């Protein structure tokens, strides 16, 4: 995977999105000609799935001087409470400005990846597809979708996130196309004519008709070209239920369409996945959005642990380097 995909923005490099006290710290150090070599350690306060480290590496490669050293855990690692995930040894003025970006990147992406991992673990082998980009600002949507894939999602929906994750973007026809064309089958057949054959044909079947009736209608018309149907029934109609999924499965099987898969979306979270799995619903894939995109960030902290090779720490913390067995040196070239 190309490191250039994780390059920091110009705003980050300029410190424009850094806490102002870091900019003022750097200003004071340079003005006073004080620039000790420090060791900073970064840790999380809760167990999590680490994500964002590739972006942090890319930033540090841009700003650290020759002779600096960093160690870190791998992207996607399962980390424990207060376990050190990143260690930097370098002149403090060279990187103090970027603490906000480092912590923020790790906090957001680790939060999303951890939420994704919970969904994937609960699905227990049933694929989970993420499409929560619509819930966040577009400037971070690619990072969100990448983090969801680091957490174990099979696919994501937007090209920028899919490129970062090294997967193909997933998504077929929305309600908007079906409503614009006035009929589900008409929209599905137009999609089938116009879109590359490498894209799976998954058709929404809750727009105009009963889901089971529409599923059989579409399956009979499209035959082997239909990969599956997606249920996204409105909450006003009761949403997607176990009974609905199993009724659609029964009707498809009864019509001889046993190969047609069923994708469930619409407010899917860990509790709903668990419910579908526990009740034996015939779900072949879950589409998850806000359960991942709305996950809280994981709180990371950065501590100076050495100054010019002398152990230091704020009161309440242990001075000196934390014993570690899982981090490895990172090439800064």
Write the pLDDT tens digit of every residue in 155-170: 999 999 999 999 999 9
Mean pLDDT of 72-101: 98
How far apart, in whole angstroms, are the C-alpha atoms of residue 229 and residue 204? 6
Average pLDDT over residues 321-326: 92
Looking at residue 4, its pLDDT comes to: 67
CB atoms within 10 A of CB 50: 25
Find the helix packing angle between 270-278 and 242-254, rounded to 10°: 50
Measured CA to CA, the distance from residue 68 to residue 57 in angstroms comes to: 13
Answer for the pair 181, 190: CB distance below 8 angstroms, yes or no: yes
Q: Which residue has the higher pLDDT, 333 or 115?
A: 115
* pLDDT score recorded for residue 169: 95
Measure the CA–CA gap between 18 and 261, rounded to whole angstroms.
Answer: 47
Considering the chain, what is the average pLDDT of its residues? 96
Could you give the CA distance from residue 31 to residue 114 in angstroms, rounded to a whole number?
A: 42
278, pLDDT greater than 60: yes
pLDDT band, very low/low/confident/very high, at 324 (cuts 50, 70, 90)? confident
Please determine, for residue 12, whether its predicted confidence score (pLDDT) is greater than 80: yes
pLDDT at 3 over 70: no
Domains present along the chain, CATH in parentheses: 3-110+296-329 (3.20.140.10), 122-293 (3.20.20.70)
Per-residue pLDDT tens for 208-250? Answer: 999 999 999 999 999 999 999 999 999 999 999 999 999 999 9
Token pair 């950065």: residue: 302
User: Rounded mean pLDDT of 20-37?
Assistant: 98
Distance CA 148, CA 131 (A): 9
> Within 13 A of 287's CA, how many CA atoms are on the CB side?
21
Both tokens of 18, joined, read 């850094």
Q: Assess whether pLDDT exceeds 80 at residue 2.
A: no
Mean pLDDT across the stretch 83-89?
98
Place of tokens 């996950």: 295
* Residue located via tokens 């579409």: 218
- The number of beta carbons lying within 10 Å of the beta carbon of residue 6 is 21
Structure tokens at 149: 């894939």
Task: Tell me what pLDDT residue 5 has.
Answer: 83
Looking at the predicted structure, is the pLDDT value of residue 75 above 50? Answer: yes
| Contact indicator for 147, 301 with CB cutoff of 8 Å | no
Residue 90's beta-bridge partner residues? 38
Contact 79, 85 (CB under 8 A): yes
* Percentages of the chain per state (helix, strand, coil), in multiples of 5: 45, 20, 40
What is the share, in percent, of the chain residues with pLDDT greater than 70?
99
Q: Is the pLDDT of residue 289 over 70?
A: yes
Model pTM above 0.75: yes
Q: Residue 316 in 3-state DSSP?
A: coil
3-class DSSP state for residue 72?
A: strand
Question: Residue 1: is its pLDDT beyond 50?
Answer: no
The per-residue pLDDT for 333 is 84
Q: How far is CA 252 from the centre of its chain?
A: 33
Mean pLDDT of the region 293-322:
97
Q: Are strands 285-288 and 261-264 parallel, antiparallel or unpaired?
A: parallel
Q: Which two tokens stand for residue 174?
A: 């929305």
């Amino acid at each position: 995977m190309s490191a250039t995909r994780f390059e920091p923005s110009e705003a980050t490099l300029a410190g424009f999105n850094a806490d102002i006290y870091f900019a003022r710290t750097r200003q004071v150090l340079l003005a006073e000609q004080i620039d000790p070599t420090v060791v900073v350690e970064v840790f999380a306060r809760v167990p999590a799935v680490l994500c964002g480290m590739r972006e942090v590496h890319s930033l540090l490669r841009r700003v650290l001087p020759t002779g600096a050293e960093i160690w870190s855990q791998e992207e996607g690692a399962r980390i424990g409470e207060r376990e050190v995930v990143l260690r930097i040894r370098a002149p403090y003025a060279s990187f103090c400005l970027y603490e906000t970006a480092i912590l923020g990147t790790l906090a957001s992406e680790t939060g999303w990846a951890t939420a994704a991992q919970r969904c994937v673990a609960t699905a227990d082998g049933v694929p989970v597809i993420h499409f929560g980009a619509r819930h966040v600002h577009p400037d971070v949507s690619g990072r969100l979708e990448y983090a969801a894939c680091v957490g174990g999602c099979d696919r994501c929906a937007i090209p920028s996130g899919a490129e970062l994750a090294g997967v193909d973007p997933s998504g077929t026809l929305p309600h908007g196309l079906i409503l614009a064309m006035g009929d589900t089958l008409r929209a599905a057949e137009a999609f089938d004519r116009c879109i590359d054959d490498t894209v799976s044909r998954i058709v929404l079947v809750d727009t105009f008709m009963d889901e089971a009736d529409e599923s059989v209608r579409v399956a009979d018309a499209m035959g082997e070209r239909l990969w599956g149907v997606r249920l996204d029934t409105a909450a006003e109609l009761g949403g997607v239920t176990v009974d609905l999924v199993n009724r659609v499965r029964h009707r498809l099987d009864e019509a001889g369409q046993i190969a047609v898969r069923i994708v469930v979306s619409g407010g899917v979270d860990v509790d709903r996945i668990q419910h579908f799995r526990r009740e034996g619903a015939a779900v072949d894939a879950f589409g998850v959005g806000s359960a991942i995109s709305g996950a809280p960030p994981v709180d990371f902290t950065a501590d100076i642990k050495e100054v010019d090779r002398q152990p230091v720490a704020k009161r309440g913390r242990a001075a000196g380097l934390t014993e570690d067995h899982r981090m490895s040196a990172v090439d800064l070239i």
